[in-house]
Amino acid sequence: MSLSLPPPRRRALAAAALPLALLASGCAYLEGGTNQAADPGSADCAPFREWQDIGGEVEIYASIRDEEGEATQAAWADFESCTGIDIAYEGSGEFEAQIQVKVDGGNAPDIAIFPQPGLLARFVESGDALALPAPVRERAEEGYSEDWLGYVTHGGELYGTPFGANVKSIVWYSPRFFAAEGYEVPETWDAMVELSDRMVDDGFTPWCAGIESGEATGWPVTDWLENAVLREHGPEVYDQWVAHEIPFDDPRIVDSLDRVGDILRNPEYVGDVQSIATTSQQDAGLPILDEECGMYLIGSFYSSNWPEGTDISEDGDVFTFNLPAIDEEVGTPVLGGGEFAAAFADRPEVVAVQEYLASADYADRRARAGSWFSAHRELDLEALHNPHDRFGAELLREPGTDFRWDGGDSMPAAVGSGTFWRGMTNWINGDGTGEVLAYVEQSWPS
Protein backbone atom coordinates (compact mmCIF):
# COMPACT_ATOMS: atom_id res chain seq x y z
CA MET A 1 0.00 0.00 0.00
CA SER A 2 2.77 2.38 0.84
CA LEU A 3 4.24 1.64 -2.55
CA SER A 4 1.41 3.57 -4.16
CA LEU A 5 2.34 6.70 -2.25
CA PRO A 6 4.35 9.34 -4.08
CA PRO A 7 8.04 9.38 -3.08
CA PRO A 8 7.98 12.31 -0.58
CA ARG A 9 5.13 10.68 1.34
CA ARG A 10 7.01 7.42 1.47
CA ARG A 11 9.99 9.21 2.90
CA ALA A 12 7.80 10.90 5.48
CA LEU A 13 6.35 7.56 6.45
CA ALA A 14 9.82 6.11 6.83
CA ALA A 15 10.83 9.13 8.90
CA ALA A 16 7.93 8.42 11.22
CA ALA A 17 8.41 4.65 11.28
CA LEU A 18 12.14 4.55 12.00
CA PRO A 19 11.97 6.33 15.37
CA LEU A 20 8.98 4.17 16.31
CA ALA A 21 11.01 1.05 15.61
CA LEU A 22 13.90 2.44 17.68
CA LEU A 23 11.46 3.23 20.46
CA ALA A 24 10.04 -0.26 20.50
CA SER A 25 13.41 -1.99 20.48
CA GLY A 26 14.79 0.31 23.18
CA CYS A 27 11.86 -0.43 25.46
CA ALA A 28 12.18 -4.14 24.76
CA TYR A 29 15.84 -3.99 25.79
CA LEU A 30 15.02 -2.35 29.11
CA GLU A 31 12.22 -4.81 29.81
CA GLY A 32 14.59 -7.73 29.67
CA GLY A 33 17.45 -8.46 32.06
CA THR A 34 15.76 -9.49 35.30
CA ASN A 35 18.25 -10.76 37.85
CA GLN A 36 18.98 -14.45 37.86
CA ALA A 37 17.23 -16.01 40.85
CA ALA A 38 19.10 -18.24 43.27
CA ASP A 39 18.05 -21.87 43.45
CA PRO A 40 14.73 -21.61 45.30
CA GLY A 41 15.14 -25.07 46.79
CA SER A 42 18.54 -24.41 48.39
CA ALA A 43 19.02 -24.23 52.15
CA ASP A 44 19.95 -20.54 51.90
CA CYS A 45 16.46 -19.90 50.66
CA ALA A 46 14.73 -21.73 53.49
CA PRO A 47 13.68 -18.57 55.39
CA PHE A 48 11.89 -17.27 52.29
CA ARG A 49 9.80 -20.35 51.35
CA GLU A 50 6.44 -18.75 52.09
CA TRP A 51 7.02 -15.90 49.62
CA GLN A 52 8.22 -17.91 46.65
CA ASP A 53 5.85 -18.20 43.64
CA ILE A 54 4.74 -14.55 43.95
CA GLY A 55 7.22 -12.62 41.83
CA GLY A 56 6.75 -9.06 40.64
CA GLU A 57 8.36 -5.76 41.48
CA VAL A 58 8.01 -3.55 44.55
CA GLU A 59 9.08 0.08 44.75
CA ILE A 60 10.43 1.36 48.06
CA TYR A 61 11.07 5.03 48.72
CA ALA A 62 12.92 6.24 51.79
CA SER A 63 15.13 8.93 53.24
CA ILE A 64 17.96 6.46 53.90
CA ARG A 65 20.92 7.05 51.59
CA ASP A 66 24.58 6.35 50.94
CA GLU A 67 26.20 3.63 53.05
CA GLU A 68 23.09 3.09 55.13
CA GLY A 69 20.99 2.89 51.98
CA GLU A 70 23.33 0.24 50.61
CA ALA A 71 23.18 -1.77 53.82
CA THR A 72 19.39 -1.52 53.78
CA GLN A 73 19.34 -3.06 50.31
CA ALA A 74 22.05 -5.62 51.00
CA ALA A 75 19.90 -7.00 53.81
CA TRP A 76 17.06 -7.92 51.46
CA ALA A 77 19.23 -9.14 48.56
CA ASP A 78 18.75 -12.81 49.51
CA PHE A 79 15.02 -12.27 49.82
CA GLU A 80 15.00 -10.90 46.26
CA SER A 81 17.03 -13.68 44.69
CA CYS A 82 15.15 -16.48 46.47
CA THR A 83 11.62 -15.18 45.89
CA GLY A 84 12.12 -13.49 42.51
CA ILE A 85 10.46 -10.36 43.89
CA ASP A 86 12.45 -7.35 42.68
CA ILE A 87 12.77 -4.47 45.07
CA ALA A 88 13.43 -1.13 43.37
CA TYR A 89 14.86 1.11 46.08
CA GLU A 90 15.22 4.87 45.99
CA GLY A 91 16.72 6.86 48.84
CA SER A 92 16.29 10.63 48.72
CA GLY A 93 17.56 13.53 50.80
CA GLU A 94 14.34 15.38 49.98
CA PHE A 95 12.07 12.59 51.14
CA GLU A 96 9.86 14.73 53.38
CA ALA A 97 8.89 17.11 50.58
CA GLN A 98 9.01 14.66 47.69
CA ILE A 99 6.78 11.97 49.16
CA GLN A 100 3.93 14.48 49.16
CA VAL A 101 4.63 15.38 45.54
CA LYS A 102 4.80 11.73 44.53
CA VAL A 103 1.54 10.81 46.24
CA ASP A 104 -0.29 13.89 44.95
CA GLY A 105 0.98 13.15 41.46
CA GLY A 106 -0.49 9.64 41.51
CA ASN A 107 3.04 8.31 41.57
CA ALA A 108 3.12 6.93 45.11
CA PRO A 109 5.75 4.27 45.85
CA ASP A 110 4.46 0.84 46.89
CA ILE A 111 6.17 1.18 50.24
CA ALA A 112 7.60 4.31 51.86
CA ILE A 113 9.81 4.28 54.93
CA PHE A 114 8.80 7.28 57.01
CA PRO A 115 11.25 8.78 59.50
CA GLN A 116 8.39 10.60 61.25
CA PRO A 117 5.05 9.15 62.36
CA GLY A 118 3.56 12.67 62.09
CA LEU A 119 4.31 12.76 58.38
CA LEU A 120 2.76 9.31 57.91
CA ALA A 121 -0.34 10.49 59.80
CA ARG A 122 -0.87 13.11 57.11
CA PHE A 123 -1.23 10.37 54.50
CA VAL A 124 -3.45 8.30 56.77
CA GLU A 125 -5.76 11.32 57.13
CA SER A 126 -5.89 11.85 53.38
CA GLY A 127 -6.68 8.16 52.88
CA ASP A 128 -3.63 7.45 50.72
CA ALA A 129 -1.74 5.16 53.09
CA LEU A 130 -3.27 1.70 53.49
CA ALA A 131 -3.93 -0.05 56.80
CA LEU A 132 -1.73 -3.09 57.36
CA PRO A 133 -3.31 -6.30 56.04
CA ALA A 134 -3.99 -8.91 58.75
CA PRO A 135 -0.83 -11.06 58.21
CA VAL A 136 1.45 -8.02 58.35
CA ARG A 137 -0.33 -6.67 61.39
CA GLU A 138 0.14 -9.98 63.19
CA ARG A 139 3.88 -9.91 62.58
CA ALA A 140 4.15 -6.30 63.68
CA GLU A 141 2.32 -7.05 66.92
CA GLU A 142 4.50 -10.09 67.52
CA GLY A 143 7.71 -8.16 66.99
CA TYR A 144 7.16 -4.76 68.53
CA SER A 145 5.89 -3.29 71.78
CA GLU A 146 2.75 -1.18 72.06
CA ASP A 147 4.88 1.89 72.74
CA TRP A 148 6.08 1.66 69.17
CA LEU A 149 2.90 0.60 67.44
CA GLY A 150 0.90 3.31 69.18
CA TYR A 151 2.56 5.93 67.02
CA VAL A 152 1.10 4.45 63.83
CA THR A 153 -2.29 3.36 65.17
CA HIS A 154 -5.16 5.45 63.85
CA GLY A 155 -8.78 4.52 64.48
CA GLY A 156 -7.85 1.01 65.65
CA GLU A 157 -5.90 0.23 62.48
CA LEU A 158 -2.13 -0.09 62.17
CA TYR A 159 -0.54 1.82 59.31
CA GLY A 160 3.13 0.96 59.49
CA THR A 161 5.68 -1.54 60.70
CA PRO A 162 8.61 -0.23 62.76
CA PHE A 163 11.91 -0.30 60.91
CA GLY A 164 15.16 1.04 62.36
CA ALA A 165 15.44 2.70 65.76
CA ASN A 166 17.62 5.25 67.43
CA VAL A 167 18.00 6.53 70.96
CA LYS A 168 18.28 10.23 71.67
CA SER A 169 18.53 10.37 75.45
CA ILE A 170 22.22 9.56 75.51
CA VAL A 171 25.41 11.55 75.93
CA TRP A 172 28.59 10.86 73.99
CA TYR A 173 31.86 11.06 75.92
CA SER A 174 35.37 9.70 75.77
CA PRO A 175 35.94 6.84 78.25
CA ARG A 176 39.68 7.16 77.64
CA PHE A 177 39.64 10.86 78.58
CA PHE A 178 37.33 10.28 81.57
CA ALA A 179 39.62 7.55 82.90
CA ALA A 180 42.74 9.66 82.44
CA GLU A 181 41.25 12.61 84.34
CA GLY A 182 39.48 10.48 86.94
CA TYR A 183 35.99 11.56 85.92
CA GLU A 184 33.07 9.25 86.48
CA VAL A 185 29.91 8.82 84.44
CA PRO A 186 27.29 10.85 86.37
CA GLU A 187 24.28 9.07 87.88
CA THR A 188 22.10 12.14 88.41
CA TRP A 189 21.56 15.43 86.58
CA ASP A 190 23.09 17.34 89.51
CA ALA A 191 26.15 15.09 89.41
CA MET A 192 26.40 15.87 85.70
CA VAL A 193 26.40 19.61 86.43
CA GLU A 194 29.02 19.08 89.18
CA LEU A 195 31.14 17.11 86.74
CA SER A 196 30.84 19.99 84.26
CA ASP A 197 32.04 22.44 86.92
CA ARG A 198 34.95 20.18 87.73
CA MET A 199 35.93 20.07 84.07
CA VAL A 200 35.79 23.86 83.92
CA ASP A 201 38.06 24.04 86.99
CA ASP A 202 40.46 21.65 85.26
CA GLY A 203 40.56 23.93 82.23
CA PHE A 204 38.36 21.88 79.90
CA THR A 205 35.21 22.80 77.98
CA PRO A 206 32.67 20.30 79.32
CA TRP A 207 30.05 20.46 76.56
CA CYS A 208 30.21 20.26 72.78
CA ALA A 209 27.42 22.06 70.98
CA GLY A 210 26.48 22.74 67.37
CA ILE A 211 23.03 22.99 65.88
CA GLU A 212 23.61 24.02 62.26
CA SER A 213 21.86 21.61 59.91
CA GLY A 214 20.71 23.57 56.83
CA GLU A 215 17.02 24.28 56.92
CA ALA A 216 16.71 21.97 59.93
CA THR A 217 19.05 24.14 62.00
CA GLY A 218 18.01 24.07 65.64
CA TRP A 219 16.83 20.47 65.97
CA PRO A 220 19.53 19.34 68.40
CA VAL A 221 18.18 21.85 70.93
CA THR A 222 14.71 20.36 70.57
CA ASP A 223 16.22 17.03 71.64
CA TRP A 224 17.71 18.72 74.69
CA LEU A 225 14.38 20.27 75.64
CA GLU A 226 12.41 17.07 75.07
CA ASN A 227 14.85 15.13 77.21
CA ALA A 228 14.65 17.70 79.99
CA VAL A 229 10.83 17.73 79.95
CA LEU A 230 10.72 13.94 79.93
CA ARG A 231 13.12 13.63 82.87
CA GLU A 232 11.92 16.59 84.92
CA HIS A 233 8.14 16.20 84.58
CA GLY A 234 7.67 12.64 83.38
CA PRO A 235 6.08 10.95 80.35
CA GLU A 236 2.50 12.11 81.12
CA VAL A 237 3.33 15.80 81.01
CA TYR A 238 5.52 15.12 77.98
CA ASP A 239 2.64 13.48 76.12
CA GLN A 240 0.27 16.33 76.96
CA TRP A 241 2.84 18.84 75.80
CA VAL A 242 3.47 17.06 72.48
CA ALA A 243 -0.28 16.65 71.86
CA HIS A 244 -0.80 20.33 72.72
CA GLU A 245 -3.13 19.55 75.60
CA ILE A 246 -1.07 21.96 77.68
CA PRO A 247 0.26 25.15 76.07
CA PHE A 248 3.65 24.91 74.45
CA ASP A 249 4.87 27.62 76.85
CA ASP A 250 3.47 26.02 80.01
CA PRO A 251 5.50 27.16 83.05
CA ARG A 252 6.83 23.61 83.47
CA ILE A 253 8.26 23.71 79.95
CA VAL A 254 9.80 27.11 80.69
CA ASP A 255 11.53 25.52 83.70
CA SER A 256 12.91 22.71 81.59
CA LEU A 257 14.22 25.03 78.89
CA ASP A 258 15.88 27.18 81.54
CA ARG A 259 17.50 24.03 82.89
CA VAL A 260 18.87 23.32 79.39
CA GLY A 261 19.94 26.96 79.16
CA ASP A 262 22.07 26.56 82.28
CA ILE A 263 24.20 24.24 80.17
CA LEU A 264 23.84 25.31 76.54
CA ARG A 265 23.81 29.06 77.11
CA ASN A 266 26.59 28.99 79.68
CA PRO A 267 29.81 30.28 78.04
CA GLU A 268 31.90 28.47 80.68
CA TYR A 269 30.37 25.16 79.59
CA VAL A 270 30.23 25.50 75.81
CA GLY A 271 32.74 28.19 74.90
CA ASP A 272 31.40 30.73 72.44
CA VAL A 273 27.57 30.52 72.63
CA GLN A 274 27.23 32.69 69.51
CA SER A 275 29.00 30.14 67.33
CA ILE A 276 26.65 27.25 68.25
CA ALA A 277 24.10 28.25 65.60
CA THR A 278 26.71 28.15 62.85
CA THR A 279 28.57 25.04 63.98
CA SER A 280 27.36 21.97 62.10
CA GLN A 281 25.75 19.36 64.35
CA GLN A 282 27.69 16.73 62.41
CA ASP A 283 31.07 18.20 63.30
CA ALA A 284 30.25 19.47 66.78
CA GLY A 285 31.00 16.19 68.56
CA LEU A 286 34.32 15.42 66.87
CA PRO A 287 36.41 17.61 69.23
CA ILE A 288 35.70 14.98 71.90
CA LEU A 289 38.47 12.94 70.26
CA ASP A 290 40.94 15.80 70.84
CA GLU A 291 39.68 16.46 74.36
CA GLU A 292 38.57 19.94 73.31
CA CYS A 293 35.13 19.29 74.75
CA GLY A 294 33.91 16.59 77.06
CA MET A 295 30.29 15.59 76.42
CA TYR A 296 27.83 15.79 73.52
CA LEU A 297 24.14 15.05 73.70
CA ILE A 298 23.00 13.65 70.36
CA GLY A 299 21.29 10.51 69.12
CA SER A 300 22.83 7.06 68.64
CA PHE A 301 22.93 7.70 64.87
CA TYR A 302 25.95 9.91 65.54
CA SER A 303 28.05 6.73 65.66
CA SER A 304 28.44 6.93 61.87
CA ASN A 305 30.03 10.39 62.16
CA TRP A 306 33.18 9.26 63.94
CA PRO A 307 36.20 8.97 61.68
CA GLU A 308 37.13 5.51 60.51
CA GLY A 309 39.18 3.63 63.07
CA THR A 310 37.58 5.29 66.10
CA ASP A 311 37.17 2.76 68.89
CA ILE A 312 33.51 2.99 69.93
CA SER A 313 33.35 0.93 73.09
CA GLU A 314 32.98 1.11 76.84
CA ASP A 315 36.68 1.76 77.40
CA GLY A 316 37.57 3.09 73.95
CA ASP A 317 37.81 6.51 72.29
CA VAL A 318 34.11 7.30 72.51
CA PHE A 319 31.00 5.81 74.02
CA THR A 320 27.69 6.96 75.44
CA PHE A 321 26.05 7.12 78.83
CA ASN A 322 22.36 7.33 79.51
CA LEU A 323 21.35 10.94 80.21
CA PRO A 324 20.93 10.79 84.00
CA ALA A 325 17.68 11.27 85.91
CA ILE A 326 16.53 14.63 87.23
CA ASP A 327 13.78 13.21 89.41
CA GLU A 328 14.34 9.75 90.88
CA GLU A 329 10.66 8.91 90.68
CA VAL A 330 10.54 9.61 86.97
CA GLY A 331 13.80 7.82 86.30
CA THR A 332 15.22 7.75 82.80
CA PRO A 333 12.56 7.25 80.13
CA VAL A 334 14.09 6.63 76.70
CA LEU A 335 13.67 9.32 74.08
CA GLY A 336 14.17 8.04 70.57
CA GLY A 337 13.04 7.77 67.04
CA GLY A 338 13.22 5.55 64.03
CA GLU A 339 11.34 4.73 60.88
CA PHE A 340 8.08 3.11 59.90
CA ALA A 341 7.41 1.26 56.65
CA ALA A 342 3.95 2.06 55.28
CA ALA A 343 2.31 0.86 52.10
CA PHE A 344 0.40 2.64 49.36
CA ALA A 345 -0.47 -0.55 47.45
CA ASP A 346 -1.73 -4.00 48.42
CA ARG A 347 -0.55 -6.25 45.60
CA PRO A 348 0.51 -9.70 46.88
CA GLU A 349 4.20 -8.95 46.31
CA VAL A 350 3.92 -5.70 48.27
CA VAL A 351 2.31 -7.53 51.18
CA ALA A 352 5.09 -10.14 50.99
CA VAL A 353 7.77 -7.47 51.28
CA GLN A 354 5.90 -5.82 54.16
CA GLU A 355 5.75 -9.15 55.95
CA TYR A 356 9.42 -9.71 55.42
CA LEU A 357 10.44 -6.22 56.59
CA ALA A 358 8.53 -6.82 59.84
CA SER A 359 10.33 -10.11 60.50
CA ALA A 360 13.20 -10.77 62.87
CA ASP A 361 15.09 -12.33 59.97
CA TYR A 362 15.28 -8.99 58.16
CA ALA A 363 16.23 -7.15 61.35
CA ASP A 364 19.10 -9.59 61.97
CA ARG A 365 20.37 -9.36 58.41
CA ARG A 366 20.13 -5.57 58.44
CA ALA A 367 22.03 -5.42 61.72
CA ARG A 368 24.76 -7.63 60.28
CA ALA A 369 25.04 -5.43 57.18
CA GLY A 370 26.12 -2.40 59.18
CA SER A 371 25.69 -0.23 62.24
CA TRP A 372 21.96 -0.43 62.99
CA PHE A 373 19.46 -1.67 65.54
CA SER A 374 15.72 -1.83 65.91
CA ALA A 375 13.18 -2.33 68.64
CA HIS A 376 12.29 -5.81 67.38
CA ARG A 377 11.81 -8.11 70.37
CA GLU A 378 13.64 -11.00 68.74
CA LEU A 379 16.49 -9.05 67.23
CA ASP A 380 19.63 -11.11 67.76
CA LEU A 381 21.87 -8.94 69.95
CA GLU A 382 24.87 -10.94 68.76
CA ALA A 383 24.22 -9.69 65.21
CA LEU A 384 24.78 -6.07 66.23
CA HIS A 385 27.84 -4.49 64.78
CA ASN A 386 29.34 -2.67 67.71
CA PRO A 387 28.98 -2.31 71.47
CA HIS A 388 27.27 1.00 71.00
CA ASP A 389 24.37 -0.40 68.96
CA ARG A 390 24.04 -3.04 71.61
CA PHE A 391 23.87 -0.33 74.27
CA GLY A 392 20.99 1.30 72.37
CA ALA A 393 19.14 -1.94 71.65
CA GLU A 394 19.40 -2.96 75.31
CA LEU A 395 18.08 0.40 76.46
CA LEU A 396 15.02 -0.14 74.28
CA ARG A 397 14.56 -3.65 75.51
CA GLU A 398 14.98 -3.16 79.26
CA PRO A 399 11.82 -4.32 80.99
CA GLY A 400 9.65 -1.48 82.24
CA THR A 401 11.32 1.11 80.04
CA ASP A 402 9.11 4.01 79.06
CA PHE A 403 9.81 4.82 75.45
CA ARG A 404 8.82 8.17 73.99
CA TRP A 405 9.16 9.19 70.37
CA ASP A 406 10.94 12.45 69.59
CA GLY A 407 8.04 14.86 70.14
CA GLY A 408 8.91 17.20 67.30
CA ASP A 409 8.15 14.38 64.85
CA SER A 410 4.57 14.00 66.03
CA MET A 411 3.76 17.70 66.29
CA PRO A 412 2.19 19.38 63.23
CA ALA A 413 4.98 19.80 60.70
CA ALA A 414 4.62 23.60 60.74
CA VAL A 415 5.76 23.43 64.38
CA GLY A 416 7.78 20.21 64.57
CA SER A 417 9.93 20.95 61.53
CA GLY A 418 9.37 24.68 61.40
CA THR A 419 8.89 27.07 64.27
CA PHE A 420 10.20 24.68 66.96
CA TRP A 421 13.59 24.53 65.21
CA ARG A 422 13.58 28.24 64.41
CA GLY A 423 12.52 29.16 67.92
CA MET A 424 15.31 27.11 69.48
CA THR A 425 17.81 28.68 67.09
CA ASN A 426 16.67 32.15 68.14
CA TRP A 427 16.89 31.06 71.76
CA ILE A 428 20.51 29.98 71.33
CA ASN A 429 21.12 33.39 69.75
CA GLY A 430 19.90 35.10 72.89
CA ASP A 431 16.10 35.43 72.76
CA GLY A 432 14.33 35.00 76.12
CA THR A 433 13.04 31.56 77.15
CA GLY A 434 9.44 32.70 77.66
CA GLU A 435 9.48 34.77 74.48
CA VAL A 436 10.67 31.86 72.33
CA LEU A 437 8.21 29.34 73.74
CA ALA A 438 5.38 31.85 73.25
CA TYR A 439 6.49 32.27 69.65
CA VAL A 440 6.19 28.52 69.05
CA GLU A 441 2.84 28.45 70.89
CA GLN A 442 1.28 31.12 68.66
CA SER A 443 2.46 29.31 65.53
CA TRP A 444 0.56 26.11 66.44
CA PRO A 445 -1.99 25.59 63.61
CA SER A 446 -5.55 25.84 64.92
Partner 1 sequence: MAFDPLSELPKLVYLVIAVAAFLAVVGVLLLVVDHGPRSRRDWWQALCFLGPAGALLLAGLVYPVLRTTLLSFRDRAGTGWVGWENYAWMFTQPEIVLVLRNTLLWVLFAPALATGIGLVYAVLVDRSRHEAVAKSLLFMPMAISFVGASIIWRFVYTHRPADEPQIGLLNQLVVVFGGSPRQWLLTEPLNTLLLIVVLVWIQAGFAMVVQSAAIKAVPAEITEAARIDGVNPWQMFWRVTLPMIWPTVAVVLITISVQTLKVFDIVRTMTGGQFGTSVIANEMYNQAFRYGELGQGSALAVFLFVLVIPLVLIQIRNLRRTREAQ
Query: Where on the chain is the footprint of partner 1 (CB under 8 A)?
Result: 9, 12-13, 15-20, 22-23, 26-27, 29-30, 96-97, 100-101, 119, 122, 125-126, 214-218, 271-272, 274-275, 277-278, 412-414, 417-419, 422, 425-426, 429, 442-443, 445
CB of 310 to partner 1, least distance (A): 24
Q: Give min distance, CB of 7 to partner 1, in A.
A: 13
126 contacts 259 by C-beta, under 8 angstroms = no
| Dist. CA 233–CA 237, nearest whole Å | 6
1 vs 15, which CB is nearer to partner 1? 15
CB of 72 to partner 1, least distance (A): 20
Nearer to partner 1, 34 or 278 (CB): 278
**How many Å apart are CA 13 and CA 18, to the nearest integer?**
9
| Residue number with CB closer to partner 1 (52 or 100) | 100
C-beta closer to partner 1: residue 119 or 171: 119
What is the rounded CA–CA span in Å between residue 373 and residue 148? 14
Compute the least distance from the CB of residue 252 to partner 1, in Å: 25
Please count the other Cβ atoms lying within 10 Å of the Cβ belonging to residue 236.
10
Strand partners, 319: 173
Beta strand 111-114 with 334-343 is antiparallel
Between 384 and 411, CB nearer to partner 1: 411
Least distance between partner 1 and beta carbon 181 (Å) = 23
Phi, psi of 125 (to 5 degrees): -60, -45
DSSP string covering 58-84:
EEEEES--HHHHHHHHHHTHHHHHHH-
- Give the separation between CA 164 and CA 276, rounded to whole angstroms: 29
User: Helix, strand or coil for residue 361?
Assistant: helix
Smallest gap, in angstroms, from Cβ of residue 13 to partner 1?
Answer: 7
Q: Report how many helices (DSSP H) and strands (DSSP E) the chain contains, helices first.
A: 19, 11
Q: Looking at beta carbons only, is 88 or 381 nearer to partner 1?
A: 88
Distances (CA, A) of 17 to 8, 12, 21, 33: 14, 9, 6, 26
CA 138 distance to own-chain centroid: 24
* Choice between 251 and 267, CB closer to partner 1: 267
Backbone torsions φ then ψ of 187, nearest 5 degrees: -100, -20
Least Å distance, CB 436 to partner 1, is 13
Which lies closer to partner 1 via its Cβ, residue 54 or residue 438? 438
**How far, CA to CA in Å, does 87 sit from each of 34, 163, 406?**
11, 16, 30
- CB nearer partner 1, residue 121 or residue 383: 121
As measured in angstroms, the least distance from the Cβ of 22 to partner 1 is 4
Q: Considering the complex, what minimum distance in angstroms separates the CB of residue 216 from partner 1?
A: 8
Cα angle 436-438-439, degrees, rounded to a multiple of 5: 65
Give buried/exposed letters for 135-157 (b at 16+ CB in 10 A, else e).
Answer: ebbebbeebbbebbbebbeeeee
Phi, psi of 112 (to 5 degrees): -120, 140
Whichever of 275 and 304 has its CB closer to partner 1, that residue is 275
Judged by CB, which is closer to partner 1: 232, or 249? 249
Q: Which of 229, 270, 236, 272 is nearest to 251 (CA)?
A: 229
In whole angstroms, the minimum distance from the beta carbon of 431 to partner 1 comes to 11
Write down the least CB distance from residue 163 to partner 1, Å.
22
